Amino acid sequence: MTNPAENIRLSNPENMAKPTGYSHVAEVTGGRLIFISGQVALDGDGNLVGPGDMEAQARQVFENIKTVLESCGATFANVVKLTFFTVDFSQQPIVRKIRDQYINPAQPPASSAVEVRKLFRDDILIEIEAVAAVPA
């Protein structure tokens, strides 16, 4: 598989189980890496978006990641890794639905998803970290 970003190759080794919604490997050649801190559903004024609403919070998190990517001259096509931290893994299908509106679901980045007891605030339901690669 080839990603639209010329320095990124997303793939799945043939002798491994086919993943659903992520790639086993994100290979980066050349360029620069962008490491994005865990993003939560806070708007530009620091207000929580979507208290108690996983879909609204996930959408705000992806919008925050989009803003960070754009500030670095990148897009979601440059994302090679996403790490999800959620307080309720049963809501992961909602998160995937939102995620698929931002990434190319036919060539998803490498990903990890972890359910945690709580995040830094009781009203935060999800936090997502990202790594992107931009050609030189």
pLDDT in tens, 24-69: 999 999 899 999 999 999 999 999 999 999 999 999 999 999 999 9
DSSP 8-state assignment for residue 90 = G
pTM score: 0.91
CATH of 8-134, one of 3.30.1330.40, 2.40.160.40, 1.20.1290.10, 3.30.460.10: 3.30.1330.40
Element (H, E) at 82: strand 79-86
Q: What is the pLDDT of residues 57-115, one digit of tens each?
A: 999 999 999 999 999 999 999 999 999 999 999 999 999 999 999 999 999 999 999 99
Is the CB of residue 110 less than 8 Å from the CB of residue 80?
Answer: yes
Domain ranges of the chain: 8-134
> In 3-state terms, the chain is what percent helix, strand and coil (to 5)?
25, 30, 45
